[in-house]
Homo-oligomer: A and B are copies of this chain.
Amino acid sequence: MNPDSVLRVEYEKVKLACSADYKSIEASKAIFELVAVSLAFLRRSCKPINLVSKVSNKEYFSFTNGSVIARPANKALFVRSVTAIRTLWKDWLGDRISAEGFSMLSYTAALAPCLAMEIFDRQNKKGPATYFECYIGHLFARTLGVNPTKAVRLPIQNRDVLMTMDFLIDVGGKHRKIHLPVKMSTRERVVQAWAHQRLLDAAYGEEIYRGIMVLFSETKLDSRSLEVVEICVPDQWLAYQTYLAHMDRIYYFDMPERYRNLTSIYPSVISIKPFGEFFKEKESVLYS
Partner-B contacts on A (CB < 8 A): 154, 156-157, 161-163, 188-189, 191-192, 194-195, 198-199, 202-203, 235-236, 238-240, 242-244, 266, 269
Contact = CB atoms under 8 A, between A and B. Distances in A.
A242 B156 CA distance: 7
Contacts of A238: 156-157, 161
B157 A244 contact: no
A136 B165 CA distance: 32
A188 B191 contact: no
Given A189-B188, A266-B157, A163 B239 contact: yes
27 contacts: A154-B242, A154-B243, A156-B269, A157-B238, A157-B269, A161-B236, A161-B238, A162-B235, A163-B235, A163-B236, A163-B239, A188-B192, A189-B189, A191-B191, A191-B192, A191-B195, A192-B192, A194-B195, A195-B195, A195-B240, A195-B244, A198-B198, A198-B243, A198-B244, A199-B239, A199-B243, A199-B244
Contacts of A192: 188, 191-192
B189 A243 contact: no
Contacts of A239: 154, 156, 161, 163, 199
Nearest 10 interchain pairs by C-beta: A202-B243, A161-B235, A195-B195, A199-B243, A191-B195, A156-B242, A154-B239, A161-B239, A191-B192, A156-B238
Number of copies of this chain that the complex holds: 2
Contacts of A266: 157
Contacts of A236: 161, 163
A269 B158 CA distance: 13
B202 A244 contact: yes
Contacts of A198: 195, 198, 243-244
Contacts of A235: 161-163
Contacts of A199: 239-240, 243-244
Contacts of A244: 195, 198-199, 202
Given A191-B191, A198-B244, A202-B244, 20 more contacts: A154-B242, A154-B243, A156-B242, A156-B269, A157-B242, A157-B266, A161-B236, A161-B238, A161-B239, A162-B235, A163-B236, A191-B192, A191-B195, A192-B192, A195-B195, A195-B244, A198-B198, A199-B244, A202-B242, A202-B243
Contacts of A189: 188-189
A198 B242 CA distance: 11
Nearest to A160: B235
Nearest to A237: B161
